[in-house]
Structure 1
Amino acid sequence: MTDVLILGGTGWLSGRIAQRWLLSGSTVTCLARGGRPAPDGATLVIGDRDAADVFDIVAARDWDHVVDVSSRADHVRAAVGTLGDRAARWTYVSSMSVYADDATVNADETAPLLDAAEPGTEYDYGAEKVAAEEAVRTLGDRALIVRPGLIVGDGDPSDRFGYWAAAFLRDGDGTVLLPEAGDRLTQVIDVDDLADFVVATTATGTVNAIGDRHPLGEVIERVRTVAAHRGDTRAAGDEWLRAHDVEYWMGERSLPLWLPAEMTGFMSRSNDRYRAAGGELRDLDATIARVVADENERGVDRPRRAGLTRDDELELLGLLD
């Protein structure tokens, strides 16, 4: 029986990973702040990673596998320093945001990285992940660094992929504003495929965990079909959207998945190593169907972390006319 420690285990991705370990018959301990429950069957140890003694309880024993998802380099360094000798295997979930080159298509795990964050400097997600990776690499061939791209699925707290489902659902027979997709691509990975990979793979080193490349316009249209949108769509170009304060990729007043033309490599990276390491990818339409159902259940007019409100969308469509 595998004895697993998850540093987290109560969030969206880390909770799915904990559930997969439990389904495999492993014993799972989650170290988290306690604001959310651990999955049924897991042991929850309450701890704040800003505290110096946070690992005291879990450092008193050996672990077959430690999984960490933190985006704070100081947290990761402290975990490696305290628990590294206690872990037979260590998996760190990093991000493709570590890469410095967003232009090269089909770049693999050897692509150049951002400069690692220095202690005491202003927080930068990608740079923090780079610094965290450096700490994990000191564990040598016991360590796996997984670099996911855009993670999607039901319950996604980022609201990025789900925005398109919500937009088509809420507008019904109205008009939906789209970016001009042209020949741009998008890549996503289902949260359950990622969780399965973390649990099942025996790979070490670094792996880009991302799905296959799909034309952006085709993916948005597939979401529209599943959402049974009956209205029209209107597309706006990059310059027009920027001139009207529409952000790309994420955040408030944004069109998620849309990226500037110069970022051709951001959503077109190689997933060859993921495939070779046993990573599987479910049919994208199955993921889309789950996301559409989830958006219906959670409410398409709820406050969102990404996308346009319907009022903003209507205002922009009026200006586009």
Structure 2
Amino acid sequence: MRLLLLGGTAFLGRAVATEATGRGHDVTCLARGSAPPPDDVTFVRGDRDEPDGLAQVRDEEWDAVIDVTRQPGQVRRAVAELRTPHWVFVSTANVYAPAPGVRPVETDALVEPLAGDVMGSMEEYGPAKVACEKAVREGMAAAGGSATLARAGLIGGPGDVSGRLGYWPWRFAHPSGPDVIVPDDPDFPVAVIDVRDLAAWLADAAEQRLDGAFNVTGEVVPLGEMLAAAARAAGASVPARPVDLPTLAELGVNAWMGPRSLPLWIDDPDLRQATALDISRAVASGLRLRPLAETLADTLAWEGTRDAPRAAGLTDAEEQEIRARLDSPDTRA
């Protein structure tokens, strides 16, 4: 197949390029070049924000296009200019309208699409992806083609600079003291897909021209089980120290991601099931998931090679400060 990958030099795009070339496909990556292109691809430098950003690839015929953008204007221009019978668009679980206590399925209501061409902030991420989906769906239908809308959940694995998954095996392997601070919420539902498994399914979707929306993430496991698996991946004997949620809030510990956080966990009860997508349709189409233990071990190995700061979790100093405050007589009282 002749595949055009819009992106392809970082994390998911790079994993897709590596998977597709490994299958023998002819892969062209159009990207700004903020990271080195993968081996065995044709790299075309282009900026999709420019009016002629697709000029070097728009006169070609592509068996499929794989697109990871979040900007509706980029999608609208690409769907109008590129020639292909099939489009694979990587969307997100954030497209779903909030439905507390419900695992999202593909037929659930979506948030309203972003009207403009440019996502101004992360608060507009879900609406922007809905607008992108709409542009792909309508554009491919008008052209007589088909489209895969891959609504991805949390993506982890080697190369994830966010550190949302990687923080946990890394922290158990590098404790800042006699224990590891964790949320006292062992039943919180966690679902993470290995970037390599998502890339393989996206390549399948391009090959098979899967049509429609698919939730694509990992199997749901309780947070406590994931933490135990992270400790095993690290070969750690240090125990977890669960801290109740009001105390974490009082100590200024954030949820999900970002600085001074405990990743993967969400402290908003209305969002408890938000990433625990129902993946029955993707599994029926051929989605294959490797064991979580393998992902954690490989992610820990990659964490040891990272050259950028981790964007999630607690620093040693932060965890030590929190532990000291937990052990102080005032806090215990």
**What is the aligned partner in structure 1 of residue 113 from structure 2?**
116
Q: Counterpart amino acid of 1:103?
A: P
Asked if 1 retains the 8 angstrom alpha-carbon contact of 2:255 and 2:261, the reply is yes
What secondary structure is seen at the aligned counterpart in 1 of 2:3? Answer: strand
**What is the aligned partner in structure 2 of residue 297 from structure 1?**
305
Matches of 2:70 and 2:217, distance apart in 1: 19
**What is the aligned partner in structure 1 of residue 160 from structure 2?**
156
Asked if 2 retains the 8 angstrom alpha-carbon contact of 1:164 and 1:223, the reply is yes
In the TM superposition, structure 1's runs of 4+ consecutive aligned residues that sit over 6 Å from their partners are none
**What is the aligned partner in structure 2 of residue 187 from structure 1?**
191
Matches of 1:58 and 1:200, distance apart in 2: 23
**CA deviations over 1:216-268 (Å, ceiling 9, x no partner):** 11101110112122223221122221222211111111110111233221132
Matches of 1:198 and 1:253, distance apart in 2: 33
Asked if 1 retains the 8 angstrom alpha-carbon contact of 2:30 and 2:46, the reply is yes
> Equivalent residues in 2 for 1:261-300 (5 A)?
261-298=269-306
Asked if 2 retains the 8 angstrom alpha-carbon contact of 1:151 and 1:190, the reply is yes
Distance 1:168 1:121, change over 3 A: closer
Q: Which of the numbers 143, 147, 151 marks the counterpart of 2:147?
A: 143
Distance 1:177 1:213, change over 3 A: same
Residues 1:228 and 2:235 are matched in the alignment: yes
Matches of 2:241 and 2:15, distance apart in 1: 37
Asked if 2 retains the 8 angstrom alpha-carbon contact of 1:151 and 1:189, the reply is yes
**What is the aligned partner in structure 1 of residue 54 from structure 2?**
55
Asked if 1 retains the 8 angstrom alpha-carbon contact of 2:93 and 2:275, the reply is no
**What is the aligned partner in structure 1 of residue 133 from structure 2?**
133
Percent identical among aligned pairs is 38
Asked if 2 retains the 8 angstrom alpha-carbon contact of 1:185 and 1:215, the reply is yes
Q: Which of the numbers 171, 181, 188 marks the counterpart of 1:167?
A: 171
**CA deviations over 1:114-136 (Å, ceiling 9, x no partner):** 22112167432112111111111
Matches of 1:225 and 1:217, distance apart in 2: 13
What secondary structure is seen at the aligned counterpart in 2 of 1:9? Answer: coil
Give the TM-score normalised by structure 2.
0.91
What secondary structure is seen at the aligned counterpart in 2 of 1:28? Answer: strand
> Equivalent residues in 2 for 1:178-257 (5 A)?
178-201=182-205, 202=208, 203-257=210-264
Q: Counterpart amino acid of 1:318?
A: A
5+ residue gaps in structure 1? none
Asked if 1 retains the 8 angstrom alpha-carbon contact of 2:93 and 2:215, the reply is yes
CA RMSD of aligned residues (A): 1.6
Would you say how many aligned residue pairs link Structure 1 and Structure 2?
Answer: 316
Note the C-alpha offset of 1:172: 7.0
Q: Counterpart amino acid of 1:176?
A: V
Note the C-alpha offset of 1:31: 0.3
Note the C-alpha offset of 1:78: 1.3
5+ residue gaps in structure 2? 328-333
Note the C-alpha offset of 1:173: 6.1
Residues 1:39 and 2:38 are matched in the alignment: yes
Matches of 2:283 and 2:170, distance apart in 1: 31
**What is the aligned partner in structure 1 of residue 331 from structure 2?**
none
Asked if 1 retains the 8 angstrom alpha-carbon contact of 2:31 and 2:45, the reply is yes
Matches of 1:204 and 1:191, distance apart in 2: 21
**What is the aligned partner in structure 1 of residue 17 from structure 2?**
18
Matches of 1:238 and 1:256, distance apart in 2: 14
**CA deviations over 1:187-222 (Å, ceiling 9, x no partner):** 111111100001113221000001111111110111
Matches of 1:104 and 1:176, distance apart in 2: 29
What secondary structure is seen at the aligned counterpart in 2 of 1:262? Answer: helix
**What is the aligned partner in structure 1 of residue 330 from structure 2?**
none
Residues 1:307 and 2:321 are matched in the alignment: no
Asked if 2 retains the 8 angstrom alpha-carbon contact of 1:173 and 1:230, the reply is no
Q: Which of the numbers 94, 99, 105 marks the counterpart of 1:97?
A: 94
Give the TM-score normalised by structure 1.
0.94
Q: Counterpart amino acid of 2:297?
A: A
Matches of 1:41 and 1:241, distance apart in 2: 47
Matches of 2:96 and 2:275, distance apart in 1: 12
**CA deviations over 1:258-297 (Å, ceiling 9, x no partner):** 1123322113220101101111111111111111212233
